[in-house]
Structure 1
Amino acid sequence: MTKGQDLWRRAKAVIPGGNMLLSKRPEMHLPDGWPAYFSRASGVTVWDLDDRPYCDMSLMSVGTNTLGYGHPDVDAAVSAVIASGNMSSLNAPEEVTLAERLIELHPWADMARFARTGGEANAIAVRIARAASGRDGVAFCGYHGWHDWYLAANLGNAEHLDGHLLPGLEPAGVPRSLAESVFPFAYNDLRDLEQLVERQSIGAIKMEVSRITEPAVGFLQSVRKLADENGIVLIFDECTSGFRQTFGGLHKAHGVNPDIAVFGKALGNGYAITAAIGRRDVMEAAQSTFISSTFWTERIGSAAALATLDAMAECRSWEAITATGRDIGARWQALARKHGFEVTVSGLPALTGFSVAGSNGLAYKTLIAQEMLKAGYLAGTSVYVCTEHTPDVVDGYFEALDPIFGLIADCEGGREPLTLLDGPVCHSGFARLT
């Protein structure tokens, strides 16, 4: 047993679920075999507690590090803040500069509020939207975190989140009084949303611009028009999509502006900072309700975000990771064809993933994690791309992946995939929107 696996066993005895983030649980990748913990990270390399290095061709800290681990300019900005003091009884000036910078990148917006996690920022946006519209109902599409307002969708109907989060997710602990306060609609299905607006008192439409599937022609424009006609606040959750395909929100590429946009993950390159930006007449509703937290005023997050934005602008990171992601997707398809089977590639290019049709998807994901780990890679069926995924890194990844695709081809031809696994199959993760 490795040090990481041993520590994971200890963790599950003292931490419910073992850790703080579902996506980082070893059971989601390689049960009984995933390293679980890291000692250090740099570029695209992660060292485990036994000091073994792995090239991260997996989640890159669940999408937070588009500039790679330990970017020198971002870390230098954070170190300077630590040296001069992270917290005091006065405010951090960096938060004003960051608000101005995000508004400059999104001229439709006038004001910003900051938090430290995506779930918090989404909850802030919903609170502001309800205060501004004077209506409680939220129509949503996509994944927006763990807070009560969102999980309330499964009160009375345990299947409401099946196409958006984990199928059958239990809203235990969510007040029953929140039932019928939040309503899901299907992505790219305008009529589904229109019917919600007709039947319910909807004050906010909250959605991801795109996660897996591209928006149908005119869909986002029609949602914007529907919101305008009914006095509804339109919120785009860009915690995942922001700063990956454009320098700012993905909505910029589609020419549709929301009333509020929420950013996270890539904004601080691994440091905790999230933002909700919006139109002045909407955002000022924050003053009519109570939204406040001590550690939203710490300095590191804002300083890291400013340095991250500078570094992104200098290397045009969004262009680099999009191009690399498209190359990876094309090479997955070519490698599969070489071995006589097909894969479907989906997702934003910088958050690319593949799947094989049929019932063996989780077994194949586990097999890839198992065999690639032996070759020195953290890998699965998706890659969250960063600027440090250079051509040499990607070439090495595909060289290691080639024989594993050969094993998958054998299984597609009739071999039982479970005979190739050293342990149990990994657990299922977030449902992919179609």
Structure 2
Amino acid sequence: MSLYTGQHVVAIVQARVGSVRLPGKVLSPVLEKPALEHLIERLSRAELVDQVVLAVPDTAVNDELSILADRLGVTCFRGSETNVLDRFGLAADSTDAQVIVRITGDCPLVAPELVDRVLSERATKQYDYLRTGQSFPDGFDVEAFTIEALRRARAEATEPYDREHVTPYMQRDPDTHAAVLEAAHAVPEERVTLDEPEDLEVIGAVFDFFGHNRFSFEDVAQLMRSEPSVFAGNRHLGRDGGASMGTGEKLWKRAKRVIPGGNMLLSKRAEMHLPSGWPSYFSRAKGCRVWDLDDQMYVDVGLMGVGTNVLGYGHPKVDEAVSAAVTAGNMSTFNCPEEVWLAEQLVDLHPWADMARFARSGGEACAVAVRIARAASGRDGVAFCGYHGWSDWYLAANLTEGSPLATHLLPGLDPAGVPRGLAGSARGFAYNDLAALESLLETGEIGVVFMEVERSAEPDPGFLDGVRAAASRHDAVLVFDECTSGFRKNLGGLHLVHNVEPDVAVFGKTLGNGYAISAVIGRESVMQAAQNTFISSTFWTERIGPAAGLASLAAMRVEDAPARIDAIGLEIRRRWVELADSAGFPIQTLGLPALGSYLIGGLNPLAVKTFVTQEMLARGYLAGTATYASVAHSSEILDGYFDTLSPVFDTLAGIESDEALLAHLPNGTAHSGFQRLA
């Protein structure tokens, strides 16, 4: 007599077309059939299964799965795409199932005899819930449970994670007798789940080896032992963490297949924050709060758009101006008047300047500025200090001979693609080293001095005045790059605070509060050199950027934003020191108050940054060891941030070595970027 005599056992296959990592994966062809078709045929051979049902989302993109089910003669139940537990439960109710086997569509190798074994073990031991454990290869995932356990989960589970993944609530429910079935003997730790393109190659190779879909679990296990090379293609991926991996992390993996590096900005690469688990993408942002693709909210006391949003995300006045620009029309054969008004305002803020040109990114604006400055000076050589973007003129400094570690001014960046003919055209000098600048200028080759006004360290007394005097003495054009420092202490460039006038200044980041606009302003005698060269781009004439710039300047004036974020930054710096003193370890703060950072004495800075990021993310904060201050960082926000940071600092206080710190980082450290020449 069967263990399930009188009981209706239904295998429900949970499947969808819209996978983030491998779209359409369940319909991927394997032996001239969709992978899902092989799975359904294999499940139909399980002796203890009475019925196979396909449970798919009710969105139009999944209609193909309904068509496949009809062709195979299996029931297809349509339900919610996001509330998978509800979809699954309704599918079970529609069949009068008493015992359910749950299989996901990304496990096409699940074998009928393994399903029967799980069902037999569940019935014999009278478990409410039983699943295969991690001693089975990834992709042989089988769960069996009673209809009562499923209904209890549907009624009681409230967390989004539980509603999305069906069975986690059952696994921890004290009223559900749950257990794990492990493999009877050692099986190689291979991966045969279908989530990545490499997985499809491996699964296809398995089916090709057998030439049919009637092979058993033991057949596959033996193949793993005898022909391990068949499974080598996806071994680097490790065991699938899809259930615990957020939508953003999955999309990041997908992005790296179609976008070199994964995105457009090094500072926003996921691995720059955490080696795994970083949400990567946002659905919306407001103030200093960011929501990821799973609608998880985080408080951003970290990079704030990498320094772009001093007024906070989604400032109403700026957004209103942009919306009005879109409504009126963003582009036409004519020019937008906003660029004239914005140029006038920037010139008014900087009495030494007469003219302005606009671009849309800081890197573009720096390239424009150096072109104008070279044209005005009549010499190609650039002496620079600080970070100035990705352009050839700047990365040419990395075209040096000898040891890269000893000579590269941007360690970690390879100047591949930068013409070697530019070698020597850009030469660096260290901040506060006036003698080094004088030495470069005395060669007679330098026509441009290009530098950040202030970054990690304050200028020594007389340094900036000395730079101005040296540039004038050698007829070099002095360019201050204020892309990062501008509008973070005063309304305008930081050079106004130091009372040192350049010939050209460059602004970006803060100018549009998250909208793309950058500016080059300067003396007429220099700026008119733009007429003697070619500097032109269609999308530098669109309307949104200047409209956002005008609205941002107006909001900064009304809200006294630069002075406020300077004060907020000083408060953050003070409380970092106070918290470290309380925890009992030394700390060093760096940078302008509004873009401050810290180092903890005796510990690897990258490991500390990774640990703080990891712990704060788990607590709902985007926060590493640097903060770009924003007016959205209210007293209440900062109180919550420091209350949350306190136990993290306490943990760090008990860590005495880098080795001990690494033990707290299960996935290793974040990637390091490049160093700025300070």
Tell me the TM-score normalised to structure 1 length.
0.97
CA distance in 2 between counterparts of 1:208 and 1:283 reads 19
The one-letter code matched in structure 2 to 1:384 is: Y
CA distance in 2 between counterparts of 1:330 and 1:428 reads 27
SS of 2:442's partner is helix
Q: Would you identify which runs of 4 or more consecutive aligned residues in structure 1 move more than 6 Å? A: 158-165
Match of 1:347 in 2: 591
Aligned pairs (5 A) from 1:220-369: 220-369=464-613
Q: Is the 8 A contact 2:517 2:546 kept in 1?
A: yes
Q: Out of 77, 85, 88, which is 2:321 matched to?
A: 77
Aligned pairs (5 A) from 1:339-418: 339-412=583-656, 416-418=660-662
Match of 1:56 in 2: 300
Q: Do the aligned partners of residues 77 and 254 (structure 1) sit closer, same or farther apart at CA in structure 2, a change above 3 Å counting?
A: same
The percentage of aligned residue pairs carrying the same residue is 62
Q: 1:293-335, CA deviations, whole angstroms, 9 ceiling, x for partnerless residues?
A: 0000000000000000000000110111001101111111111
* TM-aligned CA deviation for residue 156 of structure 1: 2.1
* TM-aligned CA deviation for residue 185 of structure 1: 0.5
Match of 1:98 in 2: 342
Q: Do the aligned partners of residues 160 and 308 (structure 1) sit closer, same or farther apart at CA in structure 2, a change above 3 Å counting?
A: farther
Aligned pairs (5 A) from 1:212-227: 212-227=456-471
Q: Structure 2 unaligned segments of length 5 or more: list them.
A: 1-244
Q: Out of 111, 121, 124, which is 2:355 matched to?
A: 111
Q: Does 1:27 align with 2:264?
A: no
Q: Out of 377, 380, 400, which is 1:133 matched to?
A: 377
Cα RMSD after superposing both structures: 1.6
Q: 1:218-245, CA deviations, whole angstroms, 9 ceiling, x for partnerless residues?
A: 0000110111111100000000000001
SS of 2:612's partner is helix
* TM-aligned CA deviation for residue 162 of structure 1: 7.8
Moved more, 357-366 or 156-165: 156-165
The one-letter code matched in structure 2 to 1:310 is: A
Q: Is the 8 A contact 1:341 1:412 kept in 2?
A: no
* TM-aligned CA deviation for residue 430 of structure 1: 3.8
Q: Do the aligned partners of residues 194 and 165 (structure 1) sit closer, same or farther apart at CA in structure 2, a change above 3 Å counting?
A: closer
Q: Is the 8 A contact 1:131 1:286 kept in 2?
A: yes
CA distance in 2 between counterparts of 1:381 and 1:350 reads 13
Q: Out of 176, 190, 204, which is 2:448 matched to?
A: 204
Q: Is the 8 A contact 2:394 2:426 kept in 1?
A: yes
The one-letter code matched in structure 1 to 2:342 is: L
The one-letter code matched in structure 2 to 1:292 is: S
CA distance in 1 between counterparts of 2:626 and 2:479 reads 27
Q: Which has the higher contact order (CA 8 A, sep 6+)?
A: 1
Q: Structure 1 unaligned segments of length 5 or more: list them.
A: none
Q: Do the aligned partners of residues 371 and 387 (structure 1) sit closer, same or farther apart at CA in structure 2, a change above 3 Å counting?
A: same
CA distance in 2 between counterparts of 1:163 and 1:185 reads 12
Q: Do the aligned partners of residues 405 and 159 (structure 1) sit closer, same or farther apart at CA in structure 2, a change above 3 Å counting?
A: farther
The one-letter code matched in structure 2 to 1:121 is: A
Q: Is the 8 A contact 1:155 1:176 kept in 2?
A: yes
SS of 1:138's partner is strand
SS of 1:354's partner is strand
* TM-aligned CA deviation for residue 106 of structure 1: 0.2
Match of 1:2 in 2: 246
SS of 1:420's partner is coil
The one-letter code matched in structure 2 to 1:231 is: D
The one-letter code matched in structure 1 to 2:356 is: A
* TM-aligned CA deviation for residue 419 of structure 1: 1.5
SS of 2:663's partner is helix
Moved more, 419-428 or 279-288: 419-428
Q: Is the 8 A contact 1:121 1:276 kept in 2?
A: yes
Tell me the TM-score normalised to structure 2 length.
0.63
* TM-aligned CA deviation for residue 75 of structure 1: 0.2
The one-letter code matched in structure 2 to 1:154 is: N
Q: Is the 8 A contact 1:143 1:164 kept in 2?
A: no
Q: Is the 8 A contact 2:511 2:518 kept in 1?
A: yes
Q: Is the 8 A contact 1:153 1:160 kept in 2?
A: no
Match of 1:431 in 2: 675
Q: Is the 8 A contact 2:398 2:408 kept in 1?
A: no
* TM-aligned CA deviation for residue 164 of structure 1: 9.1
SS of 1:46's partner is strand
SS of 1:412's partner is coil
Q: Is the 8 A contact 2:604 2:658 kept in 1?
A: no
The one-letter code matched in structure 2 to 1:196 is: L
- Structure (1 or 2) with the larger CA radius of gyration: 2
CA distance in 2 between counterparts of 1:238 and 1:191 reads 23
Q: Do the aligned partners of residues 137 and 87 (structure 1) sit closer, same or farther apart at CA in structure 2, a change above 3 Å counting?
A: same
Q: Do the aligned partners of residues 159 and 229 (structure 1) sit closer, same or farther apart at CA in structure 2, a change above 3 Å counting?
A: farther
The one-letter code matched in structure 1 to 2:435 is: R
CA distance in 2 between counterparts of 1:219 and 1:33 reads 44
* TM-aligned CA deviation for residue 358 of structure 1: 3.2
The one-letter code matched in structure 2 to 1:201 is: E
CA distance in 2 between counterparts of 1:302 and 1:356 reads 41
* TM-aligned CA deviation for residue 199 of structure 1: 2.1
